[in-house]
Amino acid sequence: MELQLDSGEPKAYLAAAKFILQGTRLLGDTDLPKEGPTTPEDVIMKDLRCEARQELAAKEGPTKSRFEFDPFRAEIEDKVEALAESRLQKAMAEAGLA
């Protein structure tokens, strides 16, 4: 989407702008899904959680099968969430948005 908006190609950035306006319901109805991330922060957090999970998994070593009971899973997810949130806050502060 960002590449289309910055492409300098009128058809491409008009299509991207229309998609955004429809997605935000500012230009008629749309068939975009109503579930999932709805704010820029939510979209960024999804990626940050994935990166944090990979980083913590690398530090923890080999993981158990996802089908095995792991009583520490909630603890790991808390660490993932905390790490992702701290990185989001840092990025927002660096961008002057916090």
pLDDT the model gives residue 14: 72
pLDDT the model gives residue 61: 64
**Chain Cα centroid distance, residue 85:** 11
The verdict on pTM exceeding 0.75 is: no
pLDDT the model gives residue 70: 62
**Chain Cα centroid distance, residue 27:** 24
pLDDT the model gives residue 35: 74
Below-50 pLDDT ranges, the chain: 67
